[in-house]
Structure 1
Amino acid sequence: MVDNHGLLPTKAIREEYALGIVMLFPSLKDPYSKKGYEHFYDAASSTGYISWRLKTVQRKARQGSALPPNGSTDLSPGGGPDFQRTVNVERQLDGDACQGAMSLLNHTTDNQPQLIFQKMRETFQHRQNLVNDPGRSVDILSTFPRFLDTKGLVDQDFTLLFGDETSSNLLQKWDVYFKPNVIKEAKQLTQTPELRRLVQSAESPTGSDLNEPTTYDQEMASLLLLLHLLPPPLGGPKSPKISASDAVERLVVFHKSCCSLEEHLRNQQGRQPYLLAVGRQKSKIDSFYIAMDKHLIP
């Protein structure tokens, strides 16, 4: 399986191999289970011998063990949150000039967006140095509080870090290539009520009124389908495996527009960032925020 499909085969592939095992060796079939091969792989819970074995192979690969000769997954260091990318942005400030720009940012009024974007651009390299410093990265929002009141600054930093072509690549290909294939693969999974609702919403025409107010619109539903397709994170003694449904709730949290955002932040639990979707109902989201450390980033 790893030779042909890499270290992260889809649920459909895993289930196909589990079925193949009991077809080749009928004596291994479980007569008391629904399909007879759930002990090898159960798509509903992503458990079974195949899942356990894949975790072992993935763990050894991360520890530096040799990959299978035909393995299709490249695990060489080339990304991730700890990867320090080389950034070449013109007109970057340092020293006293950088400190002066940061002071100006903290005292500039909201009605000067052009100046805010300019000074945030000129201090980008200094901000990257903070991000890559484990002891100072937690101070980003207090050092650059304009992230909290100026929409578009995160997008500007992302573009400066990855370039115009890379930053727009996903959006350009999503509707034409990625989304149809995500929906197609999701239909091959074992269907649960939640998965069926997401597929139905993802296939609905743009702008159509959904009858189910608890389902996200077409674009968000198609993105959330990825959480059902991607394998769950490897669990450990302190980080038990979570289901796809739990992953959805940890990635996007719906908040009714008539309720207080401040109260939501006060009741926030956990430290992982998430998207806060604000609107009248899930199918009609008015705005999104990144919720992090009891702050909202527009």
Structure 2
Amino acid sequence: MKINAFEDVLTDYFFSKALRPATEWSYRKVVKSFLGFAGSNILLNDVDKKMVLTWRRSVIADNTLSKRTWNNKVAHMRAIFNHAIAQGYFSYRENPFNGVIARPDVKRKRTLSDIQIKKIYLLMEQREGDEYLGKLEGRRNALKPAWFWLTAMDTLNRTGMRQNQLLHIRLIDVDLDNSWINLRPEGSKNHKEHRVPITAKLRPRIEYLFNKSVERGAEMNDQLFNISRFDGTRKVQSDNMDHPPLRAFFRRLSKECGFTVSPHRFRHTLATNLMAQPDRNIKMAQVLLGHSTPAVTLEYVEADLNRVRMMLEDMEAA
């Protein structure tokens, strides 16, 4: 079979693999980015190493995207071309995406300060109160209803789960009697199932969302965090809430706060705070965050600058 168009190769690649919908979406996004650079009509056999290196310069230098973003694109494109080579769709034996990664700069994990977290909660709690009093009726807003998004935000903040794990929670995964939430393997980055505790401060919001969902007709195997059940501006209630509403919420929240707020910043903040505890338990933190190895968890260990400063001053005084 002769296949040379990217869409055909993608379709064949997806057919041969058992990928998650979100993963397929990521592949399509990367291919769309490449075609935006190379031209929508370009064929597989038109791609060579020089074109790939020119794209790299465009991504990193011209578009000022990070090297980590570039490497992510390379990983996706390399997998597609490996498949094309194995199936005989690509005329060349060498994958043009081999040997083109860029060494990324290692930066501190992006976290939220205590002041920033306080501002986030004050803003959302103010909106929650205004909505309760009927002050914010009218047009659609990505922060509406505030009580629902506060619950989603609070869950991310207090458990450190990823956004994909949040979206895969079903009502049956919530055990209010034993105060835990089961995170499904299909929503986890490492495809492993694990549980996270429901803290005393998180419990009232989770319980309220659970009960409101049941009142609106949700069954035990239905998605817990589904905005369409509670957003009166939506004409149709969907079975599943996908990533776009969650992304829209965090974009609007970031704009309102004046700094970037994201699910991963909540996760990084929790992990960093856990590892800053004097009696930190690495294994416990690893289990909570769902890391495959302790080495990943240890990336969140930061030096206490106050203690380092005191040590240096003691040396200076000696």
Which has the larger share of strand? 1
> TM over 0.5, yes or no?
no
Which has the larger share of helix? 2
For Structure 1 versus Structure 2, the TM-score category normalised by the shorter chain is: under 0.3
The two structures have a TM-score, normalised by structure 2, of 0.22
The two structures have a TM-score, normalised by structure 1, of 0.24
